[in-house]
């Protein structure tokens, strides 16, 4: 009797191209999905496709996933004042899509001296390079755009000035926390309200031999105990505003708050105003084509 082929769920989101990076990170953090999206000069710009690693997903599971994606898309669209995004899906029979997807990814430098390397490729670091190894579906998209690299640069800057502890809020795959440790931080706590993201981050932390220095939990921000030299949050504008007081409350005197996931213009101005009113002083800004990262210090 012929063995039944496995099937895989492919989720496609057609939306404002400004949301592509955030959607890619969401798919990988929440579902350990393999993700692809078009570049500005390609026909698929604004379309994000994600293949979930779990085979033979039931109809109920599929509807739960699609509901979660639609809710996140609505949140993103509300944050930038747009609408009209569409979520659709396909069920794809097994055709070794993961092996084909792997071919399109190679080790890449996320910031100077730090390389993200997929686990299926052997990578020998050059002199002075450090490496974070990621498993399929967990990493890519978390380092290929401005929000992640800008945040990392600010974390490295703060560690270079003597910061030792880091709270990574909305840790996703854990890449920011792991980078902080490689830059010289001594202790990291990553938190996320999504259990799938927590599982992905824990696996990545263990793969990189950093479990002794980085913990990952579902603990809500307001319940985190103690203060940290660095608090990093690469999320989205509205969520950052809603948790602004809790972010500042977890920041040690003289500590750095690093924020990204905000768009240039009105969103950046809102963040600057709110956190300045909470007693922080802005000391840094990174600006890409659309996205901005800010560094504040608690004086």
Question: CA 280, CA 298: separation in Å to the nearest integer?
Answer: 5
pLDDT at residue 168 in the model = 97
Q: What is the DSSP letter of 223?
A: G
Q: Is 93 inside a domain boundary?
A: yes
Question: Which CATH number is 189's domain given?
Answer: 3.40.50.150
CB atoms within 10 A of CB 242: 10
Is the domain of 50 the same as that of 151?
no
User: Does residue 150 sit in the same domain as residue 26?
Assistant: no
Q: In this structure, what are the phi and psi dihedrals at residue 33, rounded to the nearest 5 degrees? A: -95, 150
Burial of 173 from C-beta contacts in 10 A (0-12 / 13-18 / 19+): buried
- Domain residues for the domain of 188 are 145-298
Same domain for 162 and 69, yes or no, is no
Does some domain include residue 160? Answer: yes
**pLDDT of res. 117:** 83
Where does a domain end: 44, 70, 102? 102
Residues 217/190, Cβ–Cβ less than 8 Å = yes
**173 shares a domain with 255:** yes
CA 208 – CA 162 distance, rounded (Å): 24
Q: Which of 102, 135, 170 is the last residue of a domain?
A: 102
Q: Cα(230)–Cα(250) distance, rounded to whole angstroms?
A: 9
Rounded-to-integer distance, Cα 182 and Cα 198, Å: 20
- C-alpha span between 19 and 221 (Å, rounded): 25
pTM metric for this prediction: 0.74
289 and 162 part of one domain: yes
Q: What is the pLDDT, as a whole number, of residue 82?
A: 87
| Per-residue pLDDT at 35 | 80
What's the confidence (pLDDT) of residue 145?
62
The reply to whether 127 falls in a domain is: no
Give the number of domains in the chain.
Answer: 2
Q: What CATH number has the domain bearing residue 60?
A: 3.30.70
| CA 14-235-182 angle, 5° bins | 115
70 and 158 fall within a common domain = no
The domain boundary residue, chosen from 102, 117, 137: 102
161, 50: one domain: no
CA gap 180, 214 in Å, rounded: 10
Do 154 and 97 belong to one domain?
A: no
| Digitized pLDDT (tens) for each residue of the chain, 299 residues in all | 455 667 888 999 999 988 887 888 788 767 767 788 776 666 678 899 988 877 788 999 999 999 999 999 998 888 778 889 999 999 887 665 556 656 666 778 788 899 888 777 778 888 888 998 876 444 334 455 678 889 999 999 999 999 999 999 999 889 999 999 999 999 999 999 888 788 888 999 999 999 999 999 999 999 999 999 999 999 888 889 999 999 999 999 999 999 998 888 889 999 999 999 999 999 999 998 778 999 999 98
């Amino acid at each position: 009797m012929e063995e039944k082929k496995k099937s895989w769920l492919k989720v496609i989101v057609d939306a404002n191209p400004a949301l592509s990076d955030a959607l890619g990170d969401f798919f990988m953090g929440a579902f350990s999905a393999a993700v692809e999206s078009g570049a500005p000069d390609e026909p698929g710009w604004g379309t994000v496709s994600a293949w979930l690693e779990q085979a033979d997903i039931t109809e109920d599971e599929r509807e739960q996933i699609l509901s979660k994606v639609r809710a996140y898309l609505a949140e993103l669209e509300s944050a930038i004042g747009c609408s009209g995004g569409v979520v659709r899906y396909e069920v794809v029979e097994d055709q070794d899509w993961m092996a084909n997807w792997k071919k399109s990814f190679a080790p890449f430098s996320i910031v100077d001296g730090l390389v993200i390397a997929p686990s299926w490729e052997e990578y020998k670091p050059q002199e002075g390079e450090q490496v974070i190894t990621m498993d399929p579906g967990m990493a890519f998209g978390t380092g290929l755009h401005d929000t992640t690299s800008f945040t990392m640069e600010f974390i490295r800057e703060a560690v270079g000035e003597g910061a030792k502890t880091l709270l990574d809020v909305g840790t996703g795959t854990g890449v920011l926390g792991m980078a902080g440790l490689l830059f010289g931080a001594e202790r990291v706590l990553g938190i996320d309200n999504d259990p799938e993201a927590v599982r992905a981050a824990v696996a990545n932390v263990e793969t990189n031999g950093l479990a002794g220095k980085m913990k990952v939990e579902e603990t809500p921000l307001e319940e985190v105990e103690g203060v940290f030299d660095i608090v990093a949050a690469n999320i989205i504008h509205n969520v950052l505003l809603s948790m602004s007081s809790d972010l500042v409350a977890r920041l040690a005197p003289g500590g750095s708050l690093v924020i990204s996931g905000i768009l240039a213009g009105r969103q950046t101005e809102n963040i600057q105003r709110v956190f300045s009113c909470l007693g922080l002083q802005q000391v840094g800004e990174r600006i890409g084509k659309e996205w901005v990262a800010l560094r504040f210090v608690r004086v």
